[in-house]
Each structure stands twice: as structure tokens, then as C-alpha cells.
Amino acid sequence: MSSSLFPWEFQQAYPNLLKKNEPGLYVFSCYDPYLERLFLSSIPASFLEGESWKVLSGPELTVNWLDNNLATLDFFSTAQSYKVLMSEQMSAPVKEYLATKDIDWGERYFLLTFGKDDKYIDKLKKKAKILKVKEPRFWEMGKLMKFLCEQTSVPLSYQIQNYLLEVVPNEPGPLLMALKKLALLAGDLRSLTPKKVDEILGHERMDQFELARLWGEKKHKDLYKALLQHIHDRDGLMSFFRFLQGHIIKVCDPSYMQGKAKPSKYDRQIEVYARQWSQAQLRDELRFFGECEILAKSKSTDLTQQLRLKLFESYSS
């Protein structure tokens, strides 16, 4: 089984992502990390033994681990299900093993997630149920907007949905963050106007992309000064740190835009930043801003100290 659908089609066809009482090997490919999280969260815990996954990452899988945990199914085996993140980073021997080995999955689900379409996925067609979420074309952004409103239970008028597409970058991450902000601050969504949207989103939207530009151009001093000016806006900082992590992931692997006939200005910036940052630097930045998001969410005073330390370091760099 192999399906490749737009987000709104995918949700209708696979409301729970997995098929109930149909365990085995699944491959899930999604072009956007925010949508990936949304679809993965739709899997009912009741589908799984013990109602939980054991989560692994592609780089940590080995052939030895697969032999010890998957190859044999006997009286002492468990029905533990596994979710593998970043499956595109699995080693060649592991990929070969999964593509060629006959495995009795029993009652286990084994879900491989890919952040982009990958040629290797085709090698699993005879072994796995393959599910792909494909990127909408630019003239289908209205359908994506309607889908996101439905999934987040934020009922917006057709006028406001279209206005958001004019003032917010047409990417799932920024659109979802805008919807969350409106749900929290807009009051009666039925009476929402473009002017009110500007009051709620305008400043934050400009800030996020300006701050991301400062980060991408390595203007660390200006970046951390600006972040410290907003240190009391923990919700805003948490939103920005989450946004920046998605931004950095794209810089890590800009190949997502290869299928685009006409890359946007934002895409071209990603390509520039990808040449300016090493993979080691990007991993460190991703880890740091992930920690910052946790600190902002917990309203920890350690966030101030971390940002001040980064500002101090910027003066000597």
C-alpha cells in the first residue's frame, strides 16, 4: 500500500495515521515538521501495546539492535511498538536490513518517519505501508489554511483566512502559530477583522522573521540584545524559539526546496544560510534553542542567564 496525498486529503483518508489492528512496518513521510507533529499526535494510544511508543532515532539504529529486538518473535517477546524519527539518517546496513529481511511483526507497529521524500522509501514498497504527505501547490494555500483552522479548532471566516495568507508566510509553522495567537487573544473570533489581526500578529510576525534574519546572518549581538528586551514575554519567546528550530532544520537540509518550481525569497535565504553554517554549528544551535524553549515554557529565570551569557560571548567573537 502506498499513498501520497495533500494534508487535507491525508487527514480524511488516515484520520488515525495507522490502521487499527493492522500492525507491521509503516513509513510516514511529511514535508513539514509542524504537520508531522500534528499527524503523529493523531495516533490513538489504544492502538499500541501498553498505550505507548518506544521512540528511537534513525542514527542510533544498528543491525545488531534490529536482530536482537525484531528478528525473533517467541514466547518471551513483547508487542512493544517503535517510532523511529529522522529515518533518512539510518545507516546503509540498517536500510538494507529493513528492505530485505522478512520480519514477523506480530502485534507490533514499527513506524519510520521521514522529514522529506526519500528514494529509499521506494525500496520498502513490498515490505511496508507507505504514507506520504505532499506539499500543496501555491494556488492551494486556501485549502491548507482551512485544514489548519479545522485541526486547531479555530473557526475563522473566509475573509480572515485569506487575510492571514496575505500577511503570514504560507508555511504550516507560521500559520499554526498565528492561529494559536488569535485563539488566545482575539476574543470573539466571529467578529475578527483584519485590523484586529494586525494588532495581535503584526508586531510579533515582523519580529520573528527579523530575529531569524539576525540569527542567519550571525549578528549575535543584535539578536541577543533583542531577545533580552522581550525577556518578560515568555509566550512570545517560546513561540519564537519553536519557530527558529523549524527554521534551523530547513537550513540543515535545504534539499526540501528541490521539488519547488519557483523557490520563494524565504527559500533563497535558507540556501544562503546553509552555506554560512556548518552542520556541527547548526546542531549546537538547534540544541541551544530547544533548551531555550523549555526554559521559556517553564518560566525559568535561567533563560535570562543563558541569553546574557550568549550576549557576553558575542562581544568577543
Q: What is the pLDDT of residue 76?
A: 47
pLDDT band at 206 (very low <50, low <70, confident <90, very high): very low
Question: Are β-strands 109-114 and 81-85 bridged in parallel, bridged antiparallel, or unpaired?
Answer: parallel
Cell numbers that stand for 282 in this block: 547548526
Cell numbers that stand for 293 in this block: 524553549
CA–CA gap between residue 208 and residue 299 (Å, rounded): 20
The count of other CB atoms within 10 Å of the CB of residue 275 is 8
In the predicted structure, residue 115 carries a pLDDT above the cut 60? yes
The count of other CB atoms within 10 Å of the CB of residue 296 is 21
Give the residue-averaged pLDDT of 192-217. 80
User: What residue type is assigned to position 55 of the chain?
Assistant: V
Q: What is the pLDDT of residue 290?
A: 93
Place of cell 499526535: 41
Q: Could you give phi then psi for residue 55, rounded to 5 degrees?
A: -95, 130
pLDDT band at 207 (very low <50, low <70, confident <90, very high): low
Encode pLDDT of 58-108 as tens digits. 989 999 999 888 876 544 456 889 999 989 989 999 999 999 998 888 889
**Domain span(s) for CATH 3.40.50.300 in the chain:** 2-133
Give the residue-averaged pLDDT of 205-231. 84
Q: What is the pLDDT of residue 202?
A: 62
Q: What is the pLDDT of residue 72?
A: 64
Q: Which fold has domain 2-133?
A: Rossmann fold (3.40.50)
CA–CA gap between residue 207 and residue 280 (Å, rounded): 27
Place of cell 538547534: 286
**Model's pTM, two decimal places?**
0.63
Collapsing DSSP to helix, strand or coil, 133 comes out as strand
Query: Which residues are CB-contacts of 169 (< 8 A; sequence separation ≥ 6)?
Result: 175, 209, 266
Q: What is the pLDDT of residue 73?
A: 55
Q: What is the pLDDT of residue 75?
A: 40
In the predicted structure, residue 154 carries a pLDDT above the cut 70? yes
Give the residue-averaged pLDDT of 127-152. 92
Report which DSSP code applies to 261. Answer: S
Q: What is the pLDDT of residue 262?
A: 76
Encode pLDDT of 267-282 as tens digits. 888 889 999 999 999 9
Give the residue-averaged pLDDT of 144-153. 95
Q: What is the mean pLDDT of the chain?
A: 87
Give the residue-averaged pLDDT of 47-67. 88
In the predicted structure, residue 198 carries a pLDDT above the cut 90? no
First-to-last C-alpha distance (Å) of the chain: 53
CA–CA gap between residue 270 and residue 247 (Å, rounded): 8
C-beta contacts of 250-254 below 8 A and 24+ residues apart:
251/216, 251/277, 251/282, 252/279, 252/282, 252/283, 252/286, 253/115, 253/116
CA angle centred on 242, ends 134 and 313, rounded to 5°: 130
8 A C-beta contact, residue 235 and residue 303 = no
Q: Which residue has the higher pLDDT, 221 or 168?
A: 221
In the predicted structure, residue 39 carries a pLDDT above the cut 90? yes
Q: What is the pLDDT of residue 204?
A: 47
In the predicted structure, residue 191 carries a pLDDT above the cut 90? no
**DSSP states along 173-200:** HHHHHHHHHHHHH-S-GGG--HHHHHHH
CA–CA gap between residue 129 and residue 85 (Å, rounded): 17
Q: What is the pLDDT of residue 205?
A: 45
Place of cell 525484531: 70
Give the residue-averaged pLDDT of 171-187. 88
Q: What is the pLDDT of residue 234?
A: 78
Q: What is the pLDDT of residue 299?
A: 84
Cell numbers that stand for 315 in this block: 562581544
8 A C-beta contact, residue 81 and residue 108 = yes
